[in-house]
Amino acid sequence: MTRKIIIDTDPGQDDAVAILLALASPELEVLGITAVAGNVPLPLTAKNARVVCELADRVDIPVFAGCDAPLTRPLVTAEHVHGKTGLDGIDLPDPKMPLQDAHAVDFIVDTLRQEPAGTVTLCPLGPLTNIATAFSRAPEIVGKVQDIVLMGGAYFQVGNITPAAEFNIYVDPEAAEIVFKSGVSLTVKPLDVTHKALTTRSRVEAFRALGTPVGHAVAAWTDFFERFDIAKYGSAGAPLHDPTVIAYLLKPELFSGRYINVEIETRSDLTRGMTVADWWGVTDRKPNALFIGDVDADGFYRLLTDRLARL
């Protein structure tokens, strides 16, 4: 039984690898890709999503442009990590496939209204602006979502864009609060788990050794993307954040976590966007998210490399 998914994304090299992993996996039916402003502005994330689909020879995938700014705050982008284009590391041709006319939020709302309840999984890989806007516009769709499996937040790893917050949540904390308080079935891939999935040299060379345009692109993106994190953390590679969302759908046994309460800081300037995760159960706040803390990193990269080889 294939799982129907919508990927909501701000490509971003790691988003691009996540999209490729999904397109290489027959267990998943990608109903559409919805772009959101995040790593780079919306025109670029909407373009980059199509660049990735064409690299995978999947121009059949409908790509939609969504929200170009957070619900209430000015957009914060991350060109310092992803480069000016958002996909720096390799020059790929401009996409020929068109953007869909519909707004991404309308696509999300219409799809959830039309598909049977509990049959569509949302995979947000960037700020949660599109998802929160859809939930606010059509509250009845929340109960129809099978799962939300998202990349965002942190507890033990605390923050990457500020000392307190992870980028996706930091950019639009109000959107994150809507999603985390919606009652939707929620699985969270925070920095706690992505920082255990580093792009070591041997793992990047395994991508390059595929000897395909996809393998070459993924290795080039990773070489570019990891320079920032290696300089910052002095680590043996960079966390390949977003593909952990798709890998979880394919092999959940690679991951482990706890079902806990997670709430979002939206008022403080100092800690805005912090995911306050009650990992130790010290409050009586109701659990609302499966918060993933660990991964079999070798198993994750084996899965990723094996699937990318199919493209």
Q: Does 241 help bind ligand RIB (rule: CB under 6 A)?
A: yes
Q: Does 15 help bind Ca ion (rule: CB under 5 A)?
A: yes
Chain positions 43 to 102 lying near ligand RIB, rule: CB under 6 A, are none
How far is C-alpha 274 from the geometric centre of its chain's CA atoms?
17
Sequence-ordered strand ranges (E) for the chain: 3-9, 28-35, 63-65, 120-124, 145-151, 186-189, 255-260, 262-264, 275-277, 289-295
**Residue from the set 5, 12, 56, 290 that interacts with Ca ion by CB under 5 A:** 12
Chain positions 13 to 32 lying near ligand RIB, rule: CB under 6 A, are 14-15
Rounded alpha-carbon distances, angstroms, from residue 193 to 105, 147, 160, 299, 300: 29, 19, 13, 14, 11
For Ca ion (CB under 5 A), the number of binding residues is 6
**Residue from the set 56, 125, 277, 308 that interacts with ligand RIB by CB under 6 A:** 125
Nearer to ligand RIB, 95 or 239 (CB): 239
Q: Which does 223 bind (CB under 5 to 8 A by kind): ligand RIB, Ca ion, none?
A: none
Nearer to ligand RIB, 15 or 223 (CB): 15
Bridge-based pairing state of the strands 186-189 and 145-151: parallel
Q: Is-catalytic flag, 241?
A: yes
Q: Which does 160 bind (CB under 5 to 8 A by kind): Ca ion, ligand RIB, none?
A: ligand RIB
Calpha distance 88→301 (Å, rounded): 22
- Taken in order 96, 6, 81, 209, the sign of the CA dihedral is negative
Give kind and range of the element (H or E) at residue 23.
helix 13-23
Nearest approach, Cβ of 284 to ligand RIB (angstroms)?
30
Q: Does 126 help bind Ca ion (rule: CB under 5 A)?
A: yes
Q: Which does 108 bind (CB under 5 to 8 A by kind): Ca ion, ligand RIB, none?
A: none
Query: Which residue, among 188, 179, 130, 170, has the nearest Cα to 268 in the 3D structure?
Result: 170
Give contact residues for ligand RIB (rule: CB under 6 A). 10, 12, 14-15, 38-39, 125-126, 151, 160, 166-168, 241-242
| Catalytically active residues, by annotation | 241
